[in-house]
Amino acid sequence: MGTPQSLVVALSGMDFEARIAAGAGVETMFGHRDVMLARALDIRLMQGCAGLISFGVAGGLDPTLPPGTVIVGTAVRSGAHSFSTAPYWTAALRRALPNAVCGLLAGADAAVTAVDDKRALHDAHGALAVDMESHIAARVAHTHGIPFAALRVVIDPADRAVPPLAVAGMGDDGSTDVRAIVLGLLKAPNQLPGLIRLGRDAATAKAALADARRAAGARFALPALAAV
């Protein structure tokens, strides 16, 4: 498994993302949100690690990017703050994933679900996609002087709203709360078509995420390998 200092930490929001990220030289973290995520990351990075990569799905902001689009982040922006990814690690991921789109990711403390909100976020700085972990990971990695990278896949397109029940089904522990979704559907059955569409998009995104992880291979844990 390696020592804490020799591992790359892969940060995800959900458990399925962490399962895809797992591999040699990689330690996964998932299931934390907002302040608790920053605290957990800070504690982990104080032990040392070779690098931190934000990995998983993201909400589409660029209207030209369909579900399943792989994005190698060059920077992460949240509000007035922007953090660049490690150039050599980012370049290695781009070589491993020649069909990926490269550019800015946005970070948000809450899910961005409305089409108007997605458009506003894209118009502000040209961000390609948004997630709830990358900005926290980038900030904490910068504080600790640790290399940072981001690899994300679009799950919901920019021109489609996310059903509220999809957000309600995101368990605090990183799992999918099926019970919350079923109970919610009993009260709001009109959300079922949107959930079905999102389910199809999610299947596409998960497959693309797994393909990208396999294609990245050793480059996914590049800092750890470079330190050996």
Is 46 inside any structural domain? Answer: yes
Helices 87-96 and 192-216: crossing angle, nearest 10°? Answer: 100
CA angle 197/124/88 to nearest 5° reads 85
Give the DSSP letter string of 55-123: EEEEEE-STT--TT-EEEEEEEEETTEEEEPPHHHHHHHHHH-TTSEEEEEEE-SS---SHHHHHHHHH
pLDDT of residue 227: 57
Is 56 inside any structural domain? Answer: yes
Instruction: Indicate whether this model's pTM tops 0.75.
Output: yes
Domain carrying residue 124: 4-159+203-218
List the chain residues with pLDDT less than 50.
228
pLDDT of residue 177: 66
User: What total of structural domains would you count in the chain?
Assistant: 1
pLDDT of residue 144: 95
Is 181 inside any structural domain? Answer: no
Is 198 inside any structural domain? Answer: no
The neighbour count for residue 142, using CB atoms within 10 Å, is 15
pLDDT of residue 91: 95
pLDDT of residue 173: 65
Is 183 inside any structural domain? Answer: no
Bridge partner residues of 59 (DSSP): 130, 156
Bridge partner residues of 105 (DSSP): 76, 129
Is 174 inside any structural domain? Answer: no
Is 136 inside any structural domain? Answer: yes
Pick from 122, 127, 54: nearest CA to 85: 54
**What CATH number did the domain enclosing 8 receive?**
3.40.50.1580
Is 191 inside any structural domain? Answer: no
pLDDT of residue 53: 97
For residue 75, give the amino acid letter.
A
pLDDT of residue 141: 96
